[in-house]
Amino acid sequence: MEINLLVGGPVSEWPAELLKKNDGQIWIGADRGALRLVQNGIQPAIAIGDFDSSTKEEQDLVRRNSKKIYTAKPEKDDTDTELALKIVFENFQNIDRINIFGATGGRIDHLLANLFFILRKPFYEYADKIFIFDRFNTINFYKPGTYTIQKEKDKKYLAFVPLTSVEKLSLVDEKYRLDEKNFNFPVSLASNEFVGEKGKFSFTTGVVCVIQSKD
């Protein structure tokens, strides 16, 4: 099962034509993301949030056009993205992939929260199934192991970002290679590139964020 989650980041950062092709996909809206889904003619399977930035008319519009509503208090421990993911985990079984949109741009603290939540439960258990997309980037997360990733046709750059201490990170066939390099703190290994259509990498401990990007 594939789930799409739209959160409240700037529309300017959405991938092109994001909501133009619905094709019966499952959409979840978090706070202002739910409003934007409804305004684009998409009925959220679940709308989630405190809706504190919406007018009463906007709140009513979301309630009338969502299959299920979860209302949160503005003073909460989770961000809208984290709360939405927890509710997705509770409501759906056999999840193969969660695509998150609207999670970048705007406030830097929200962007950082949307990268580092993966280190905590229950999110860590789903790390390899969570993808974040915007108009320039595809972001996903990896636990220790050996991987081969496919180059996206419109992306030029490749970054490896240890979010924790990481041991024996090897970049096997990328433009800039590493051989079992250890990192004791988070760092962005930016502006690498694929050599061919695929890239191999491995590491033994920690969590690595991988980003494919274009200008």
Residue 53 clears pLDDT 80, i.e. is over it:
no
Q: Is the pTM of this model over 0.85?
A: yes
- Whether 90 and 149 map to the same domain: the answer is no
Given 108, 135, 162, which residue is the final one in a domain?
Answer: 135
Q: How far is Cα 80 from Cα 70, in angstroms, rounded to an integer?
A: 11
- Whether 14 and 113 map to the same domain: the answer is yes
- Whether 147 and 130 map to the same domain: the answer is no
- Whether 168 and 182 map to the same domain: the answer is yes
Backbone angles phi, psi at 162, to 5 degrees: -60, 120
- Whether 140 and 175 map to the same domain: the answer is yes
**Crossing angle, helix 56-65 and helix 32-39, to 10 degrees?**
70
What total of structural domains would you count in the chain? 2
Residue 98 clears pLDDT 90, i.e. is over it:
yes
For the domain that residue 49 is a member of, what is the CATH number? 3.40.50.10240
The first and second tokens of residue 44, run together, are 């959220």
Of the pLDDT bands very low, low, confident and very high (cuts 50, 70, 90), residue 31 is confident
Range of the domain at 15: 1-135
The first and second tokens of residue 74, run together, are 């503005």
The DSSP letter of residue 152 is: P
Quick one: average pLDDT of 123-136? 96
- Whether 109 and 161 map to the same domain: the answer is no
